Amino acid sequence: MPARTSKSTEKPPPFDPASTGTLNPSDTLKLLALPDTDLPQPPKDLGLEALHRATVVQLPLGVGYATREGQFIWCNEAFEMMLGLAPGEYRDRTIAELTHKDDAQANDELQRDLWAGRIKSYSIEKRYVKRDGGELWVRVSAAMVRTSEGNPVCSVGFLEDISARKKMEEEIERVQKALVDASRLAGMAEVATNVLHNVGNVLNSVNVSASVLAEKLKSSKGARLGEVAALLRRHRDDLPGFMARDPRAAKIPDYLAALAAQLAGEREAMLKELEELRGHLDHIKETVTMQQTYARRCGVVEEVAVVDLVEDALRMNSGALTRHRVAVQRDFLDTPRITTDKHKVLQILVNLLRNAKYACDESSAPEKLVRIRIEQVLDEVWISVIDNGVGIDPEVMPRLFTHGFTTRKSGHGFGLHGAALAATELGGSLTAHSEGVGRGATFRLCLPLPRRGGTP
């Protein structure tokens, strides 16, 4: 986590840049006593030293004064305790020495701006290194101490220990990442589940084809040919006599001709069935290969036709869509190519199509329809999945993309959350729209198109 900074660029009063601002404690105390203001004056018996102690020394914030070179001039007890320094040990240290090396440059630049008068004050969240080597996250608010003429004397920094908050932020970041990973895995599982669904469906068709073939073979008239052959074999020694005398022999030519015609028909039907079987097997092979391609290519950015991605996503959902009698309409107004992580886009589209299928399934609309629209709008491609399903209650709309939000009994509420994150990672966005309950829904994935003559 890098240092966070903010600065006030309001110009400080003019000063003499040649002034290096050497400070001794009594000058500091004089300045801190605010002699020329109309603030309530300290009680008479409270000397300047006591006033200083009462304000700065005992402040629960760390306070440190430093020279232009960053050498500490004076620090309060809270400062020493925060950094685990022995009393007075700060005198041998500079700001740069105590600052974590990763935050040193940012801090150094701010100190230089402050001393050069480019900024009036700054605030930075940075790490100090404690005496025992441990890190301490602090927010430092720093400003200049100036003479009444505006000349810089020293810089003053107020340190607030923010390590507890930082720890919490890190924890939140860790949990967030774990959620993202879980969503992504859920997305992958979604893709894999769809592949299995599809393969399962096609295997059903394979089974049907195989049974039809077996049935055809069983009932084939081809077996009767054996009977004719056996009859002829029995009269092998006097075939001319058999042909001339036996009434069965006279029927043989016609019988053989009819059988030949029948066998040709059977053969044709079986070839057709075999062709279908091969088609089903190819479909399985294709689906598995596609899944492997996506699994392997996860994280790889490549050029791809948007239409191909949409078709792949449809293929992965085709089983479920057909089974639930959901018609698919393709409105491909444009057919651009984009440079993207195919797997992420597929994960999003598979989720959207699955959700659309569920929405249609739960609706009482007689004609269930999912439309996919691809259009090019300025420098983006919009892929919209539009269904005429149950629609979305405007009340739940704000929670739609929240991790864990689901209205389905078997839902997880991971799909849209993961899809929206993936869309952002691709430099795009995912939005939802619905006219309300019973009025269908539109989910739109916007992805950047490659810039003319360059990558997106």
Ligand X SMILES: Nc1ncnc2c1ncn2[C@@H]1O[C@H](COP(=O)(O)OP(=O)(O)OP(=O)(O)O)[C@@H](O)[C@H]1O
**Sheet containing 441-448, strands listed edge to edge, beginning at the edge strand earlier in sequence:** 326-332, 368-377, 380-387, 441-448, 429-433
Task: Tell me phi and psi for residue 34, to 5 degrees.
Answer: 45, 55
Beta bridge partners of 74: 65
Give the integer Cα–Cα distance in Å for 214 and 270. 10
Our finding on whether 390 is near ligand X (CB under 6 A) is yes
Burial class of residue 31 in the structure, from the number of CB atoms within 10 Å of its CB (0-12 exposed, 13-18 middle, 19+ buried): middle
The nearer residue to Mg ion, 82 or 419, going by C-beta atoms, is 419
Applying CB under 5 A, which of residues 21, 157, 319, 415 lies at the interface with Mg ion? 415
Q: CA triplet 246, 251, 257: central angle to 5 degrees?
A: 145
Q: Mapping DSSP to helix (H, G, I), strand (E, B) and coil, where does residue 145 land?
A: strand
Q: Judged by CB under 6 A, which stretch of 112-120, 133-141, 165-173, 410-418 contacts ligand X?
A: 410-418
Among 248, 278, 330, 408, binds ligand X (CB under 6 A): 408
Nearer to ligand X, 161 or 387 (CB): 387
Stretch that binds ligand X, among 27-35, 196-204, 351-359, 444-452 (CB under 6 A): 351-359
Residue 388 binds Mg ion, judged by CB under 5 A: no
The DSSP result for 354-389, as a single string, is: HHHHHHHHHS--SSEEEEEEEEEETTEEEEEEEE-S
Position among 67, 76, 287, 355 found at the interface with Mg ion (CB under 5 A): 355
Q: Is 159 in the site for ligand X (CB under 6 A)?
A: no
Distance CA 382, CA 359 (A): 21
Q: Of 206 and 356, which has the nearer Cβ to ligand X?
A: 356
- Contact of residue 4 among Mg ion, ligand X, none (CB under 5-8 Å per partner type): none
347, 354, 238: which is closest to 298 by C-alpha? 347
Q: What is the spatial distance between Cα 129 and Cα 137, in angstroms, rounded to a whole number?
A: 9
Q: Which is nearer to ligand X, 186 or 199 (CB)?
A: 186
Examine residue 337 and tell whether it contacts ligand X (CB under 6 A). no
Binding positions for Mg ion, 315-354, rule CB under 5 A:
none
Of positions 400, 423, 447, 449, contacts ligand X by CB under 6 A:
400
Rounded Cα distance, 176 and 430, in Å: 19
Chain residue whose CB lies nearest Mg ion:
415
* 415 interacts with ligand X by CB under 6 A: yes
Amino acid at 336: P
Closer residue to ligand X in complex, CB, 189/260? 189
First to last CA, the chain: 28
Residue 416 touching ligand X (CB under 6 A): yes
Task: State the nearest-atom distance from the C-beta of 420 to Mg ion, in Å.
Answer: 12
Residue type, 340: T
Q: How far is the CB of 155 from Mg ion (least distance, A)?
A: 56
Please choose, out of 30-38, 59-67, 119-127, 409-417, the segment that lies near ligand X by the rule CB under 6 A.
409-417
Q: How many residues bind Mg ion (CB under 5 A)?
A: 2
Q: Is 313 in the site for ligand X (CB under 6 A)?
A: no
Q: How far is the CB of 422 from ligand X (least distance, A)?
A: 12
| Least separation in angstroms between CB 316 and Mg ion | 14
Residues 273, 291, 414, 428: which binds ligand X (CB under 6 A)?
414
Within 10 Å of residue 44's Cβ, how many Cβ atoms? 6
Q: CB of residue 314 vs Mg ion: minimum separation in angstroms?
A: 16
Return the number of the residue (221 or 433) whose C-beta is nearest Mg ion.
433
Identify the DSSP state of 37.
Answer: S
Of 215, 162, 233, give the one whose Cα is nearest residue 1. Answer: 162
For Mg ion, give the closer residue by CB, 161 or 190: 190
Q: What count of other Cβ atoms lies within 10 Å of the Cβ of residue 324?
A: 12
- Sheet with 121-129, strands from edge to edge, namely 4-8, 121-129, 135-146, 152-161, 62-66, 72-75
**194 lines the binding site for Mg ion (CB under 5 A):** no
Interaction of residue 21 with ligand X, rule CB under 6 A: no
Q: Cβ of residue 355: shortest distance to ligand X, in angstroms?
A: 3
348 binding ligand X? (CB under 6 A): no
Task: Say if residues 319 and 197 touch (Cβ distance below 8 Å).
Answer: yes
Instruction: Please report whether residue 136 would count as binding ligand X according to CB under 6 A.
Output: no
Q: Indicate the length of the chain as a whole number.
A: 456
φ, ψ of residue 395 to 5 degrees: the values are -65, -35
356 binds ligand X (CB under 6 A): yes
For residue 82, which of 35, 123, 140, 20 has the smallest C-alpha distance? 140
Question: Which residues of the chain form contacts with Mg ion (CB under 5 A)?
Answer: 355, 415
Question: Which residues of the chain form contacts with ligand X (CB under 6 A)?
Answer: 351, 355-356, 359, 387, 389-392, 400, 405-408, 411-417, 441
